[in-house]
Amino acid sequence: MFSKYLTAIENVSVFPIIGLLVFFPIFVGIVFWVIKKDKPYMEKLANIPFQENDQVTINEENKNEK
């Protein structure tokens, strides 16, 4: 049922290659973004699970110590 519409598109076979070409740069971009980000920022993110409910103020203090 889908094939009817798809065969109507010319050169549909290049789509997978385009897909891969789009994919790869995005992925490389993410890798760069991750490497570029500074360490304190990463640490801050990694500590999100530990700044829970009533301990908010305690955690603020911890951050200052660092």
Partner 1 sequence: MNIEKFSYDNQIVRLFILATVIWGIVGMTVGVLIAFQIYLPWLNFDLQYTTFGRMRPLHTNAVIFAFVGNAIFAGVYYSLQRLTKARMFSDVLSKINFWGWQLIIVAVAITYTLGITTSKEYAEAEWPIDIMIALVWVAFGVNMIGTLMKRREKHMYVAIWFYIATFVTVAVLHIVNSFELPVSLFKSYSVFAGVQDALVEWWYGHNAVAFFLTTPYLGLMYYYLPKAANRPVYSYRLSILHFWSLIFLYIWAGPHHLLYSALPNWAQSLGTVFSIMLIAPSWGGMLNGLLTLRGAWDRVRDDAVLKFYVVAVTAYGMSTFEGPMLSLKNVNALAHFTDWIPAHVHIGTLGWNGLLTFGMLYWLVPKMWNTKLFSNKLATAHFWIATLGMVVWVVPMYWSGLTQSLMWKEFTPLGVLQYPNFLETVLQIVPMYIIRSIGGSLYLTGAIVMIYNLVKTAKQGSFTANEDTEAPAMEKAGGDNKKSHRWIEKRPIQFAIVSTVVILIGGLVEFIPTWLIKSNIPTIESVKPYTPLELEGRDLYIRESCNSCHSQLVRPFRSETERYGEYSKAGEFVYDHPFLWGSKRTGPDLHRIGGKYSNMWHYLHMQDPRQMSPGSLMPKYSWLIEQQLDTDIISTKINAMRSLGVPYEEGYENEALNDLQLQAQEIADDLLESGIIVEPDREIIALIAYLQRLGTDIKVKQAENE
Where on the chain is the footprint of partner 1 (CB under 8 A)?
1-3, 6-7, 12-13, 15-16, 19-20, 22-23, 26-27, 30-31, 34-35, 37, 42-54, 56
Q: Tell the smallest beta-carbon distance from residue 26 to partner 1 (Å).
A: 8
Which residue from 19, 33, 66, 20 is spatially nearest to 47, judged by alpha carbons?
A: 66
**DSSP letter, residue 10:** T
The token duo for 44 is 């801050």
**DSSP letter, residue 51:** S
Q: Tell the smallest beta-carbon distance from residue 13 to partner 1 (Å).
A: 7
Q: Tell the smallest beta-carbon distance from residue 59 to partner 1 (Å).
A: 11
